[in-house]
Structure formats: structure tokens, C-alpha cells
């Protein structure tokens, strides 16, 4: 299975019924806010991320470059800057959305452990030991203000010794923490966040995992992280999350109007002929095929490339409600704002270019790029009349080496500096 959300939902329903009701209430409230029309220009939401690498064997202790690549994937996918956007079928291009959410690494924590980590359907175990330093895990950092992502080896699910499958990751959906029922037996706040198997992280990860469909190894492009953060921000699977095995009828819904109905998940492939619910879609007015390009399906990571506008509206409503404590002051330039600052985007930089977001209050200015040892590599003047918006100023990086660099903006007597990581 692509993620442990169905197993998680089963455990919540069976072992934490009050919490399950609270989740459902929060989901309905968020959906009511999400149906509001989208605005043309939205502020960017900045979310600080704490990465916990909990490892037993050396291959599980992922290099920083792999972790940074995963953050780059999130920033591309949640801002529709991923290179494969052009692979979306034409009939779905009008509903593709840009969430305008940026993830910044706040801290990387590494913990060597002797513990094993496994979801248990019978006992209701939600891998709490992974998030507890006294049990071989790593303690969360203030889940109300930080997105905690734990990376470890997730043991396969078994029942009475019978293997059921491999969970690649799981995440807690929005839970409206201040409104949880008292003494409901709910997981502690310190368990909130995202869990990823170490073999699913990043595009430059040398570790492999068998494809659950039985055809070779899983294609890993960091989309398990994109998928699980989607759950964390309130999204369900596009086929409706109706049962433990994901086999539902065509009346199941994920609560998002512009994701077509499907009666089950994709089988880790890219079957664009798939149409499991032949019915007129209320949103589209016609029958639509399954949206296998959506990040919230179980399709191959090589064909996932989009969220819908309805999903975007829902996630942003979650960041304005149950998870509003995560949102930091936007770093995106707002015209005339004295508080806005320049921004490098995306960061880390994986491709051949990055962009500069330069607020009106910082133009004109001098932009400089330095190696980490202080050598000047590039500079240019950014004039007042250069446009704002994404992307306002393009910087070519093909001649630059991998590693940390320093960027600086200078305007009269004030300056702003920031580190940027470039890798090939």
C-alpha cells in the first residue's frame, strides 16, 4: 500500500471512537470553508519542518542531501513547480491548483536506536515509540508550531504472524487539537505529524523497495512525502477512504468536488484508461475517468503531478483553522510592505535555475551570490521596474557547483543574506 492512512483510520475507528468523531467534525468544518471561491492572488504559507531520522542500520541514516531533496519535492509539488506538470491530461488542466505552501527545514534530528517501529491493527498501536526518546525514538518539537516528519524503517504489517503488506508512511489528519473530547484516549499531541519509511524519501535515495503491485521496485520520486503531507493537511484519498482495503462503491467521496469518483485506488501504475465509476460527475457535468495523476491516489509516483483547486482550497482552509499555528509570516513579497524581505525560491535548488522574489521596498538593489568560502560567483542589479510575482528574476545555476552558497541583497545601508543549497 502507498500509505498507512487506511490502517490508521481503522485503528482510530476501532480504538479511539471519540477522536474519530472529532476528526469527522473537523473535516466537515474545513470542507465548508474550502468551498469558497479561490482568489487569484494568495499569500504564501510558510511551514517550518523538523526532520527526525531514527535509524538502526547505517543505510537508514539518510544523508542531508536526500532530506533536502525531499523538501525540494514538497516545495515543487505544493507550488506547481514540478517538472512533470505538462504530463497532466488536457481535460484536467483547468482544475489543477497551486497551494502556495512553502516548507523550510527548521532542524534535523538524528537518533540511533535499537527499537523497531510497526503499526499494529489488533492492539491499536500507532508507533508511539517512534516519537518517544525514552522508547528509542525522537521527541516531537512543538507540533502546534512545527511540522514534524519522522523517517525510519517501518516494519511490515502482520496479523497473527501473517504478513499483510508494507506501509510506506502515514500521517494524522487535522484534529482540531483545542476541541478534542476530554479523556477520549486519543493519541497525545506529541504524536502529531508525518511518518515516512526511509526508502521513500527523496529522488536521490539509493535504497529501494519492492513495488506493492509486484512489478520490480517502487519508483521513488519523493511523492510519498507529498501524499502524506496532503493527509496531514486534511486530504483524503480520492476514492473516498471507505474501507480498510480501499474497495468502495462509487458513492464514496473524499469530500472534494473536483476529484472524480473512483471505486478503488490505482494499483501503483499509470493507467490513464482507468474509469471505475461510469457516472455523470456533478462538478463536471459529464462522466470523467479516474484522476490517476493526483497526488492522493495510489498511482505510480512517475505519473502523480497535481492537486486540484478543490484540494488546494481545503488544505489552505486547514492552515487557516486547525493547523493555523504552523503558519509563519509569509516571506513572499507584498507590494509596498515594509516588512517583506527578498526570497530565494525553491531552496534547496535541484535544477538549473532558481528565482528571486524581490519586494518593491527592496528595489532597486544589488544581488550577489557567493560560494561558502566567500568567493563572489555572480552579481546583478535588480531595478525598480522589474516585475514582482513568481518568478520575477531568474538565476541560472548550471555553472555552479553543488553545496551551500550565500546570497546577499544590498540596498544602501541595509542588507539581507540567506543560505541556499544547490545540488546535482
What is the pLDDT at residue 260? Answer: 94
* Residue of 97, 85, 86 whose CA lies nearest to 39: 97
Q: Is residue 385 annotated as a catalytic residue, yes or no?
A: no
Flag residues of the chain having pLDDT under 70. Answer: 1-41, 121-125, 160-163, 175-187, 213, 241-248, 329-340, 385-392, 424
- First CA to last CA distance, the chain: 31
pLDDT tens, residue by residue, 320-357? 988 899 997 544 333 333 346 787 877 778 778 888 87
pLDDT tens, residue by residue, 175-215? 652 322 233 223 688 999 999 999 999 999 999 888 876 77
> What's the CA gap between 219 and 235, in Å, rounded?
23
What is the pLDDT at residue 109? Answer: 95
What is the pLDDT at residue 375? Answer: 82
Report field, pTM of the whole predicted structure over 0.75? no
What are the structural domains, with CATH classification, of the chain?
5-325 (3.40.390.10), 343-422 (2.60.40)
Q: Is 369 exposed, middle or buried (0-12, 13-18, 19+ CB in 10 A)?
A: buried
Q: Which of 6, 228, 301, 357 is catalytic?
A: 228
**Phi, psi (rounded to 5 degrees) for 127:** 60, 40
> What's the CA gap between 161 and 2, in Å, rounded?
21
pLDDT tens, residue by residue, 270-310? 999 999 999 999 999 999 999 999 999 999 999 999 999 99
The C-alpha cell of 75 is what?
Answer: 516545495
> What's the CA gap between 125 and 187, in Å, rounded?
10
Amino acid at each position: 500500500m502507498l500509505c498507512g492512512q487506511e490502517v490508521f483510520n481503522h485503528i482510530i475507528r476501532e480504538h479511539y471512537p471519540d477522536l474519530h468523531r472529532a476528526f469527522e467534525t473537523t473535516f466537515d468544518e474545513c470542507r465548508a470553508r474550502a468551498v469558497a471561491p479561490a482568489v487569484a492572488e494568495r499569500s504564501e504559507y510558510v511551514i517550518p519542518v523538523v526532520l527526525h531520522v531514527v535509524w538502526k542500520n547505517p543505510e537508514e541514516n539518510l544523508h542531508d542531501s536526500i532530506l533536502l531533496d525531499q523538501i525540494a519535492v514538497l516545495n515543487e509539488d505544493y507550488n506547481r513547480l514540478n517538472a512533470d506538470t505538462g504530463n497532466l491530461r488536457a481535460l484536467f488542466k483547468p482544475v489543477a491548483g497551486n497551494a502556495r505552501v512553502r516548507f523550510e527545514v527548521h532542524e534535523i534530528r538524528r537518533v540511533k536506536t535499537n527499537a523497531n517501529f510497526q503499526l499494529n491493527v489488533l492492539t491499536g498501536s500507532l508507533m508511539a515509540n517512534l516519537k518517544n526518546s525514552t522508547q528509542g525514538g525522537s521527541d516531537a518539537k512543538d507540533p502546534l508550531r512545527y511540522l514534524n516528519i519522522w523517517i525510519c524503517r517501518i516494519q511490515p504489517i502482520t496479523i497473527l504472524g501473517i504478513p499483510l503488506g508494507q506501509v510506506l508512511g502515514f500521517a494524522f489528519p487535522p484534529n482540531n487539537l483545542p476541541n478534542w473530547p476530554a479523556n477520549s484516549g486519543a493519541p497525545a499531541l506529541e504524536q502529531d505529524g508525518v511518518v515516512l519509511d526511509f526508502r521513500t524519501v527523496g529522488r536521490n535515495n539509493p535504497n529501494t523497495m519492492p513495488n506493492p503491485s509486484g512489478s520490480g521496485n517502487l519508483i521513488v520520486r519523493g511523492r510519498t512525502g507529498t501524499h502524506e503531507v496532503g493527509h496531514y493537511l486534511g486530504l483524503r484519498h480520492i476514492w473516498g477512504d471507505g474501507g480498510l482495503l480501499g474497495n468502495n462503491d462509487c458513492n464514496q467521496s473524499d469530500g472534494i468536488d473536483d476529484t472524480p469518483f473512483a471505486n478503488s485506488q490505482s494499483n501503483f501504475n499509470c493507467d490513464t484508461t482507468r474509469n471505475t465509476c461510469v457516472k455523470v460527475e456533478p462538478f463536471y457535468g459529464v462522466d470523467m475517468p479516474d484522476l490517476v495523476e493526483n497526488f492522493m491516489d495510489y498511482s505510480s509516483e512517475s505519473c502523480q503531478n497535481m492537486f486540484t483547486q478543490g484540494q488546494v482550497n481545503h488544505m489552505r482552509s486547514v492552515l487557516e483553522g486547525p493547523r493555523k499555528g504552523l503558519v509563519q509570516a509569509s516571506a513572499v513579497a507584498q507590494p509596498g510592505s515594509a516588512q517583506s524581505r527578498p526570497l530565494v525560491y525553491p531552496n534547496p535548488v535541484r535544477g538549473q535555475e532558481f528565482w528571486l522574489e524581490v519586494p518593491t521596498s527592496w528595489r532597486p538593489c544589488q544581488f550577489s551570490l557567493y560560494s561558502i568560502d566567500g568567493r563572489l560567483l555572480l552579481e546583478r542589479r535588480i531595478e525598480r521596474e522589474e516585475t514582482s510575482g513568481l518568478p520575477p528574476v531568474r538565476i541560472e545555476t548550471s555553472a555552479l557547483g553543488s553545496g551551500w552558497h550565500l546570497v546577499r541583497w544590498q540596498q544602501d545601508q541595509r542588507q539581507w543574506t540567506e543560505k541556499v543549497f544547490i545540488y546535482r
